[in-house]
Every structure is written in C-alpha cells, then in structure tokens.
Amino acid sequence: MGRRVGAKGWDEGLGLEIVQKGRNTKIKLNGETLATLSKIDSGLIGHEVEF
C-alpha cells in the first residue's frame, strides 16, 4: 500500500486521492487511476492538470 499524500473528497461525492508508492505516484478519482507519474515526472506535481 502506498502513502497517501493528497486529499480524498474535497466535497461530497468527489473521491480524489494521490498515492505515492516507491518511485511512482498515482492519481486516482473514485478508485480509477487517471495517471501514473514516475520519479522523472514528479516536477509536474503542483502544476495544473486538466482532466
């Protein structure tokens, strides 16, 4: 299991979580993985991401 570094549920019904596991960071929405970032991509964290 990874370490949760994000917020889960900014408002009712929105289940957004960011899970860091080893060298990878996964962005999940309602349990579905939207993106997987490697350590190389970690500079993207903190920038706007459009879904």
DSSP string, the chain: --EE-S-S-SSTT--EEEEEETTEEEEEETTEEEEEE-GGGGGGTTS----
Residue type, 6: G
pLDDT at 12 over 50: no
Is residue 19 predicted with pLDDT exceeding 60? yes
Instruction: Please tell me the predicted confidence (pLDDT) of residue 16.
Output: 77
pLDDT, mean of residues 6-11: 47
